[in-house]
Amino acid sequence: MIRNLGDQLTTELRDCLPIFLDRLKNEITRLTTVKALTMIASSPLKIDLRAILTEGIPILASFLRKNQRALKLSTLACLDMLVKNWGMLFKNWGYVVQELGYVGQELEYVGQELGYAVQELGYVGQELEYVGQELGHVGQELRYVVQELGYVGQELGYVGRELGYVVQELGYVGQELFSRTGVT
């Protein structure tokens, strides 16, 4: 409503804007308030926000350090609108610049951590490649052992057949011995 009718609410606007400051200080309402301030700041009516800029800019700048992604992004959008529309009137942007410096340091740290993570993933990839090669060698050895077991199985089959022939021959010899001795 303020975004669209703010030029007609001049007396009420002085009472409404401090409420936004209170809402910015409340952890539960701050994200919604930042979005509302962004809408008001982007109004084509150029609603006069100077009454809350002095106290509101440092509060907004402090949100850049919070660990809430949505709050950070909304705050950046709000600060962008405020700079575009009120940048010349408000001279104390040092808070924002300082907080953006901290955000830049955090991003640099995150970038370094990502670099380390990529490097570690490279090491893990090399280890997996080595393990794969070793498993390949183990697989070749297992194939060799299975092949050898196959040969042993064939030899055992041959020995079994030969043993069967021997037993058969022993049976014939035994029958021959029993028939000569007369034992039945």
Residue 34 has pLDDT above 80, yes or no: yes
Domain assignment of residue 147, yes or no: no
Overall number of domains in the chain: 1
Q: Please, are residues 106 and 69 in contact by the beta-carbon 8 Å criterion?
A: no
pLDDT per residue over 109-152, tens digit each?
Answer: 667 777 777 777 777 778 878 887 877 777 788 788 778 888 87
How far, in Å, CA of 103 to CA of 144, rounded?
60
Domain assignment of residue 164, yes or no: no
Domain assignment of residue 179, yes or no: no
Q: Please, are residues 37 and 20 in contact by the beta-carbon 8 Å criterion?
A: yes
Which pLDDT score is estimated for 4? 45
Domain assignment of residue 54, yes or no: yes
Domain assignment of residue 102, yes or no: no
Domain assignment of residue 45, yes or no: yes
Domain assignment of residue 144, yes or no: no
pLDDT per residue over 79-96, tens digit each?
Answer: 888 888 766 666 666 666
Q: Rounded to 5 degrees, what angle do the CA atoms 135, 138, 142 make?
A: 135
HSE value, Cβ hemisphere, 13 Å, CA-based, for 56:
26
- Average model confidence (pLDDT) across the chain: 76
Domain assignment of residue 126, yes or no: no
Question: DSSP assignment, residue 43?
Answer: -
Closest CA to 43 of 3, 14, 82, 5: 3
Q: Domain range for residue 19?
A: 2-92
pTM comes to 0.52
